[in-house]
Amino acid sequence: MTAELLGVPAVSPRDDLFLIGMTSVTMARLLRRVIEDLDVDIDPVDVFENPTPAELATVLDERGTEEA
């Protein structure tokens, strides 16, 4: 999903999303898809503080557990 949004061939778990092309527009799209597809609340601050897919996955796992 992230590679598609950023228009790159692949994204590794340790890639800094901002260094590979994340903009405010792509962040908004990512946030919308996470909220809609995973039903987990996430906001831009979460992405700024956790800029890699691995770090974001940890946040999403924690949020999903809290909301369940």
Per-residue pLDDT tens digits for 5-55:
899 999 999 999 999 999 999 999 999 999 999 999 999 999 999 999 999
Write down the pLDDT at residue 30.
95
Half-sphere exposure of residue 55, counting CA atoms within 13 Å on the CB side?
Answer: 12
Cα separation values, 60 from 9, 17, 23, 46, Å: 23, 16, 20, 10
pTM: 0.85
Query: Does 67 have pLDDT greater than 80?
Result: no
What number does CATH give the domain 2-67? 1.10.1200.10
Write down the pLDDT at residue 56.
95
